[in-house]
Amino acid sequence: MQNPKYIEIDNLYYAGLIVTNYYREQEEILLKNLIETNINMNISIFYEKQDQYKTIKDLTYHIGNVGVDIKESNQNRQDIDIAIFTYNDAKYIRKEMQVNNEDLYFLYIYINLYAENIKELEYYLNKIEGLLESKGMQSRRANFRQEQIFKSCVPLMENNIDIKSSARRNVLTNGLLATYPFVSSSIFDEQGIFIGKNIYNNSMVFIDRYNTDKYKNANMCIFGTSGAGKSYYAKLLILRYRIMGIEQYVIDPEREYEKLCEKLHGTEIKIGPSSNTFINILEIRKESLEEGEEGYLATKISKLIGFFNLIFGELEEEEKALLEEKIIETYNSKGITFDDNSLYKNKKNSKTKIFKDKKDMPLLEDIYNILIKDKELKKLGNKLIPFVKGSLKFFNNYTNIELNNKLIIADIYDLGEENLKYGMYLFTELFWDKIKINRNEKKAIYLDEIWRLIGVTSNKNVASFIYKIFKTIRKYGGSSVAITQDISDLFSLEDGTYGKSILNNSSIKNFFSLEENNIKILSENINLSEKEKIEIKSLKRGECLMFVEDDHILVKVERSEKENEIVG
């Protein structure tokens, strides 16, 4: 060996540290600070269980001898305090072994660091020595014993005799808990997609949110201020799941996903004054009922009450009952009743039942014509005029789109700020019916600016429908993704009941940088530590605090150059 301070193997320089002493009492995991650094190192921990009978016998002998020495010794001797110290320690260890059934172990901890050059290695050594000292651990550099510590830190199970005497310390069973090494928060699902890197330890984060064995559901929340990186992150998810062939539907109120849709050869559906694509809110679809269920019209009415509440404002119970009566009358005029068979028609010379066409369904104009004739409900009919004859008359058309692509972007930007909620509800209902078709196929629905549907500008019927999606989408192989920057609005309806329910029904939560007032509101609805509140406030663009079930980790979202070109 030419240098006692390090060894060189395959152009890497290695140097070791031997942990030689510890604080007598430890309240935290000993090695947590070390493991969470991104310094290149190997840590080796050896435990040697001691024979209980022999240990108690030796302790008893030691206690007797030291006890006699203390009684007979001169109290002015300087070493009397040390003798008393070891005497009390021996009595404590014996008591724990005899009364509490503890075992005695010899503990050895070695740390081997490596770097590409000597200067960097020295920097690592100093940093780790500082971290050890901050946790009450004394260490010694393994000069002249670098080869021995290297072998002890590779998986050979070799606790070299040349370094054992320096590292050996006594520890009881209970004390072993402080040496538990598997404390670094890292997530690596074998079938998952790459999310980014753990900020603390540089480990890669892969998440398979469709893993039903590991996660209660595949739902996600993505919260963050404008410019924090939440939309970019959502686009990366869409891109990576697109490659995997997963069915995805996106509600896009801000026209943020248009270029992504084009590059991924998805289907973009625009609805607005200048669009030529239409969706009929009154259409009943064959897939709107789950397999084995009944009640097409009843199910549709409950959804329509929510939609009409968006238009009319919160309705009183009497008004709801009268409105429901008129909705039933509208469908009856088209031959559709509560009998599910009324939605089927028979072809001539065929025994096969065919579900009614899109043009067999009523339009908003049909219900408008009925409402306007009723004195009590005429005021509601008048509120439908923009949707039938005015600026929003594109809502009064038969559905003319087919959803055959596995990536559908619903662009509702042209609706304008005041009318976005109508488009969001319209597409959410359409996509929900689509999601229910095949339970065995993975799919996802992304609700950008979800606060519009569950916030104070919405109503209980609509919010309940969105909550139902989050609660039940799992059984259809699906994932709901809530995206918003308006935390206060998210928790504004019914004292935040629906916002909290959606948060609690999401196994994966992503918190990008948030303002202090939003962090305060969030902390009232989810368990955030003081440290996590500070972290959320100080996150940089593209960084997020991620809650994955019970794991909380800080992640830097990573992307390749090619992905950056596509996502833009």
What pLDDT is recorded for position 350?
A: 61
What percentage of residues in the chain have a pLDDT greater than 70? 96
Q: Are strands 267-270 and 344-346 parallel, antiparallel or unpaired?
A: unpaired
Which has the closest alpha carbon to 196: 223, 167, 236? Answer: 236
Residue 114: other Cβ atoms inside 10 A: 23
Tens digit of pLDDT for each residue in 525-551? 998 988 899 999 999 999 999 999 988
Tell me the per-residue pLDDT of 392-404, one tens digit each, with 9 for 90 and over.
999 999 999 988 9
Question: Scanning the structure block, which residue is given the tokens 């007979």?
Answer: 72
Helices (DSSP H) in 384-456: which residue ranges?
385-388, 420-435, 451-454
Q: What is the pLDDT of residue 296?
A: 94
pLDDT at residue 293 greater than cutoff 90: no
- Interval 48-68 mean pLDDT: 87
Please, which pLDDT band fits residue 223 given cuts at 50, 70 and 90? Answer: very high
Report which of residues 66 and 98 the model is more confident about.
98
Domain boundaries, the chain: 7-50+103-179, 213-275+403-568, 278-400
DSSP output for 92-121: HHHHHHHHS---EEEEEEEEEEEESSHHHH
Query: Residue 45: is its pLDDT beyond 90?
Result: yes
pLDDT in tens, 482-515: 999 989 999 999 989 999 999 999 999 999 999 9
Beta-carbon contacts of residue 427 (< 8 Å; ≥ 6 apart): 249, 251, 269, 271, 279, 410, 412
**Concatenated DSSP letters for 180-198?**
--------B-TTPEEEEEE
CATH 1.10.4080.10, applies to 213-275+403-568: no
Instruction: Output the pLDDT for position 315.
Output: 86
Read off the pLDDT of each residue in 298-305 and give the average, rounded to a whole number: 94
Out of 92-106, 194-208, 245-259, the most confident range is 245-259
Token pair of 358, please?
């899109």
Residue 322 pLDDT greater than 70, yes or no: yes
Q: What is the pLDDT of residues 159-209, one digit of tens each?
A: 999 999 999 999 999 888 888 887 666 788 989 999 999 988 788 999 999
pLDDT-based confidence at residue 254 (cuts at 50, 70, 90): very high
- Say what the pLDDT of residue 314 is: 83
Check residue 347 and report its DSSP letter. Answer: P
pLDDT tens for residues 345-355? Answer: 876 556 678 89
Confidence of residue 233 (pLDDT cuts 50, 70, 90): very high
pLDDT value for 79? 62
Q: How confident is the model at residue 74, as a pLDDT?
A: 59
User: What is the pLDDT, as a whole number, of residue 66?
Assistant: 77
Phi, psi of 367 (to 5 degrees): -75, -30
pLDDT tens for 416-433 read 999 999 999 999 999 999
Give the residue with greater pLDDT, 367 vs 287.
367
Q: Is 422 in contact with 311 (CB distance < 8 Å)?
A: yes
pLDDT recorded at residue 186:
76
Report pLDDT for 37.
80
For residues 65-87, average pLDDT: 69
**More confident position, 201 or 126:** 126
Among left, alpha and beta (phi > 0; psi -120 to 50; other), residue 11 is left
Q: Supply 461's token pair.
A: 């019927």
pLDDT recorded at residue 3: 82
Helices (H), 345-407: 364-371, 378-383, 385-388
Do residues 296 and 343 make contact, with C-beta atoms less than 8 angstroms apart? yes
Label the pairing between strands 193-198 and 247-252: unpaired
- Looking from the CA of 399 toward its CB, the CA atoms found within 13 Å total 19
% the chain with pLDDT above 90: 72
Give the per-residue pLDDT at 264.
96
Mean pLDDT of 456-470: 92
Tell whether pTM > 0.85: no
The DSSP symbol for 394 reads G
Average pLDDT over residues 318-327: 94
> What pLDDT, on a 0 to 100 scale, did the predictor assign at position 25?
72
Residue 84 pLDDT exceeds 80: no
φ, ψ of residue 445 in degrees (nearest 5): -125, 130
Lowest mean per-residue pLDDT among 285-294, 309-318, 380-389: 285-294
- Average pLDDT, integer, range 349-368: 88
The mean pLDDT of the chain is 91
pLDDT band at 44, cuts 50/70/90?
Answer: very high
Pick from 315, 301, 331, 252: nearest CA to 465: 301
Residue 2 has pLDDT above 80, yes or no: no
Residues 6+ apart with CB under 8 A from 157: none
Architecture of domain 278-400: Orthogonal Bundle (1.10)
Do residues 223 and 484 make contact, with C-beta atoms less than 8 angstroms apart?
A: yes
